[in-house]
């Protein structure tokens, strides 16, 4: 029996992945770099500064900016991103998420958030679901980002669950890899991408049966 749930945030709990895409695209275009949705997939689950580094490398500008200038670019992207979340509310929870969290609570299954986003607490607050989570891992405390398993191991430990007794939910390839390396059961959530290595994949959380899921090996 599985005993705890670890959730990614962007693209799993709410569709902020599209706002990250829009904000990065705008920032990239302001410095003469273009990228498409295929490249954007490689940014999912990746920290803010690592995402900027990948975008600069994509545009052959990896040596163009000083660390301070890069900080300013990342801040500009984040300011725009945060602005686009102004009206975020419980209506922006992805399908099936609220019911799933209620059922987890009914079954007394502890839940934690393993997101690379420094905006996670603010977003969960706006979505009205922060009280469902026993812990939100602070990405500033991590040595390595996804696909390293550290964030998932920390999340499971924070709710007193061994990784092998936990289920991780992810929409990004880097996240699925991290969950599997942590020794956890991986639920991939995506209607468009094939998530390699996921133990099961669904298009949305409405397809998940919590009783069946916790009995997974």
Catalytic residue, chosen from 8, 36, 99, 140, is 8
Q: Given the complex with ligand BG6, which of 15 and 157 has the nearer CB atom? A: 15
Question: Which listed residue (104, 116, 151, 189) binds ligand BG6 by CB under 6 A?
Answer: 116
Out of ligand BG6, Mg ion, none, what residue 48 binds, judged by CB under 5 to 8 A for its kind, is ligand BG6
Q: Which residue is nearest to ligand BG6 (CB)?
A: 117
Q: How far is the CB of 105 from ligand BG6 (least distance, A)?
A: 24
- Which 3-state string (H, E, C) describes 161-199? CCHHHEEEEECCHHHHHHHHHCCCEEEEECCCCCCCCCC
> Which of 10, 92, 160, 199 does the annotation list as catalytic?
10
Stretch that binds ligand BG6, among 60-68, 103-111, 113-121, 162-170 (CB under 6 A): 113-121
**189 φψ region: left (φ > 0), alpha (ψ -120 to 50), beta (else):** beta
Residue 209 falls in the annotated catalytic set: no
Q: Is 14 in the site for ligand BG6 (CB under 6 A)?
A: no
Alpha-carbon distances, residue 101 vs 1, 7, 132, 157 (angstroms): 18, 11, 7, 19
Three-point CA angle 54, 61, 172, nearest 5°: 10
Q: Please count the residues of this chain forming the interface with ligand BG6, following the rule CB under 6 A.
A: 17
Q: Helix 173-181 crosses helix 150-158 at what angle (to 10 degrees)?
A: 60
CA nearest to 13, candidates 86, 99, 118, 139: 99
- Rounded to an integer, what distance in angstroms lies between the CA atom of residue 102 and that of residue 117? 24
Given 118, 138, 144, 162, the residue binding ligand BG6 (CB under 6 A) = 118
Question: Is 10 annotated in the active site?
Answer: yes
**Closest to ligand BG6 by CB, 102 or 196:** 196
165 belongs to an annotated ligand binding site: no
CA distance 134 to 39: 34
Instruction: Give the residue numbers annotated as catalytic, written as ranges.
Output: 8, 10
Q: Which residues sit at the interface with ligand BG6, rule CB under 6 A?
A: 9-10, 20, 43-48, 51, 78, 115-119, 172
């Amino acid at each position: 029996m599985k005993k705890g749930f670890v959730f990614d945030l962007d693209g799993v709990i709410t569709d902020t992945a599209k706002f990250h895409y829009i904000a990065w695209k705008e920032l990239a275009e302001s410095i003469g770099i273009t990228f498409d949705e295929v490249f954007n997939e490689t940014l999912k689950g990746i920290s803010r500064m690592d995402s900027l580094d990948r975008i600069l490398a994509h545009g052959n500008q990896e040596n163009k900016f000083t660390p301070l200038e890069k900080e300013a670019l990342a801040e500009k992207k984040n300011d725009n991103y945060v602005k686009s979340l102004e009206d975020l509310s419980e209506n922006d929870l992805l399908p099936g998420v609220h019911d799933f969290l209620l059922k987890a609570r009914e079954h007394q299954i502890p839940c934690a958030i393993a997101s690379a986003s420094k905006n996670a607490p603010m977003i969960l607050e706006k979505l009205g679901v922060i009280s469902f989570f026993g812990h939100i891992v602070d990405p500033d405390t991590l040595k390595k980002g996804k696909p390293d398993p550290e964030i998932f191991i920390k999340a499971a430990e924070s709710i007193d669950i061994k990784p092998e007794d936990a289920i991780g939910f992810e929409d990004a390839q880097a996240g699925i890899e991290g969950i599997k390396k942590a020794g956890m059961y991986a639920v991939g959530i995506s209607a468009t991408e094939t998530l390699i290595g996921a133990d099961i994949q669904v298009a949305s959380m409405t397809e998940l049966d919590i009783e069946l899921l916790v009995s997974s090996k």
